[in-house]
Amino acid sequence: MTTERAWEKRRFGHRARLALTSAHIRLMDDQAHAARTLWNLLHDWWTMLPEDKRSLAAADTAIRQARGEIDWLAVLPAQAAQAVLKTYFQAWKNCWDGRAGAPNFKARIRTVMSVDIPQGRDLNITRVHRRWGMVNIPKVGRVRFRWTRDLPVGKRADKENRITGARLVKDALGWHIAFRVQSLEARPEPHQGPEVGIDAGVNLPLALSDGNHQDHGRPPRLFDGTADRDKWLNPREQAKLLGLEQRAAQRKQHRGRGEKTSRRLRHTYDQIKQLRATATRRAVDWQHKTTTDIAKRYGTVVVEQLNIKNMVKSARGTIEEPGRNVAQKSGLNRSISQEAWGRTVTMLTYKTARHGGTLHKVPAPNTSLRCSACGFTTPGSREDQATFVCKNPGCGWSGNADWNAARNILHLYRTGHALIPAAGRAVVRRPRGVKPATAR
């Protein structure tokens, strides 16, 4: 007797590096600036208009008129302009539902340059080489991109397996294209692997309750409270980064108040951004490989429910009540931000589901202070960031502090303390007494 496996649609993204000429880069930069400016104009139009005059149809008419009258707005494809309108309206819906704040103007220096291609049929993707493919970008032309995974194109594409669109994104390392891929895959069988508790730390990146800890082989946070901000760079790159930062500080001294940043200083800043982006890419690569291995090995993964935003708050204090150990807390905050715990949990969430496993969260208080052997919380048991020695006279268990926390996390799950997630998309409730945005 055979049983039919259930099938389900899966949507995911795939990011690839583009190989562009200088002419292509100028055209794509112009489109990205036009998209950002269109957002700002649309926000200005929306907030100044009376509430009874606001509608998607009126906004669409205004965008069409602006693209017809302003030449540098017309460089943005019509479909990309419609995507800006759709994203802007969705931002207001998220605000009204309490999931996010009100949308605002996009500054030139703090906004990621991006252009959306909502129609997958406009891409016309072909593979021309083992390592390269060709894609059509509206109003730019045919460009090459790095082929690093098989995509549902050509004869492999159908109604259920296809590319639905893409987004062009620019970072310090250049332009990239992020494909939106839809595929029909068999629903995975329930994972029969063991349970594991995971504690995220700074000395030990991922401590597992079974002792199979995951370390990225980089130097941990220093004991004096400072942090190695450049641990994902090799010694030669670290020396180069230090020289660039010193050069930028020296050139910045010669800039008067209110003067524009010189071309040399901007070039130095760009070089610093490139090294930072390289370090970030290596960190994300380690996270992807590590979380994939954990999702394949374990059937149930348990993590803490952390409020990282509160954990990285500054200890500077005020003039009346200045903070203590500000430098040490600043170094700890940098280490927490560099480990990117939230990104690790996000990866584990969808990767465990893809392999038939489950991910659960438990309350975080006292997981690092309670002894996992005797169950007592004794003052002074955690001697430092990496050492835990139970002060209970009848216990005396000692070990790595992060490993002790991971064992406590798994114990909380087994005793029924797992948090129950809300059905569907998580909604942040608006506090009582706070009115919705007036622009609604």
Q: Which of 74-88, 227-241, 340-354, 402-416 has the lowest mean pLDDT?
A: 227-241
As a whole number, mean pLDDT of residues 17-26 equals 95
- H/E segment holding residue 7: strand 7-19
The alpha carbon torsion through 69, 75, 79, 85 (nearest 10 deg) reads -60
Degrees (nearest 5) of the Cα angle 271, 276, 278?
95
Mean pLDDT of the chain: 85
Residue 202 has a pLDDT of 81
Which pLDDT does position 249 carry in this prediction?
92
pLDDT-based confidence at residue 50 (cuts at 50, 70, 90) = confident
Note the pLDDT of residue 114: 94
Q: What is the mean pLDDT of residues 214-238?
A: 71
Instruction: Give ∠ CA 322-323-328 in degrees, rounded to 5.
Output: 145
Q: Is the pTM of this model over 0.95?
A: no
What was the pLDDT predicted at 226?
Answer: 43
Q: Residue 88: what pLDDT?
A: 93
How do residues 131-147 score in pLDDT, each as one tens digit?
999 999 999 999 999 99
- Asked if pLDDT for residue 251 goes beyond 80, the answer is yes
User: In this predicted structure, which of 124-133, 305-314, 363-372 has the lowest mean pLDDT?
Assistant: 305-314
CA dihedral in degrees (307, 309, 315, 316; nearest 10)? -160
Mean pLDDT across 66-74? 89
